[in-house]
Amino acid sequence: MNQALEVIRNRRSIRRFRPEQIAEHELEAIVESALFAPSAMNGQPWHFTVIQERRTLERMAQLMRENMLKSGNEFMVRRASDPSFSPFYNAPTLILITADAKDKFGQFDCAAAAQNIALAAESLGMGSCIMAMSAILFESEEGVELARSLGVPDGYVHVCTVALGYKDGPNPQVPPRKMDVVNYVK
């Protein structure tokens, strides 16, 4: 099987990361892969915020837990109430992906960039987890201030966050795939 197809088939959402930070040259390659994602009309309506500072990561995790507890969503409240819950799985690097709110294709374009990040990480032997639930992080006044302090441009909205790091264990097993979701019109 060709290498690209093998990386696609092997990539899994990783939720256990080793504590050491990823190498700078690997991070640069991963970020560059995001910049080469396709975008509608080459609009490139995205912004990437790479976060590695431990105190900022801890602040984000705490704020996420607080917002989940206030959400009124039973599932989120139950998860955030668990003392061992780590919203970003203790990943040493997060990439926050935001899109220009005025771009009608921004969500799709950012999703393509997130997938490029995840595949690049897998190709380098790293793990990733793409999370959209992290939008709740910015659903409070403190979250809005956090976005500003992280350098998210005005007028940009959260699309997803990608947790990155070296895997702490083997890839999870392949979950069953739905095979009856394709039809061909030839």
Residue 51 domain-assigned? Answer: yes
Contact 114/47 with Cβ under 8 angstroms? no
Contact 107/28 with Cβ under 8 angstroms? no
Which pair of structure tokens corresponds to residue 18?
């080793």
Predicted confidence (pLDDT) per residue in 39-67, tens digit: 999 999 999 999 999 999 999 999 999 99
Percentage of residues of the chain with pLDDT beyond 70: 100
Name the strand (E) or helix (H) holding 120: helix 106-123
Residue 25 domain-assigned? Answer: yes
Residue 157 domain-assigned? Answer: yes
Domain count, the chain: 1
Contact 134/140 with Cβ under 8 angstroms? no
Which pair of structure tokens corresponds to residue 67?
């917002």
Predicted confidence (pLDDT) per residue in 145-159, tens digit: 999 999 999 999 999
Q: State the pTM of this model.
A: 0.94
Predicted confidence (pLDDT) per residue in 69-117, tens digit: 999 999 999 999 999 999 999 999 999 999 999 999 999 999 999 999 9
- Which residues span the domain enclosing 87? 3-166
Sign of the alpha-carbon dihedral angle for 71, 75, 77, 82: negative
Percentage of residues of the chain with pLDDT beyond 90: 94
Instruction: Please give the angle made by the CA atoms of 42, 47 and 52, to the nearest 5 degrees.
Output: 140
Predicted confidence (pLDDT) per residue in 170-184, tens digit: 888 888 999 999 999
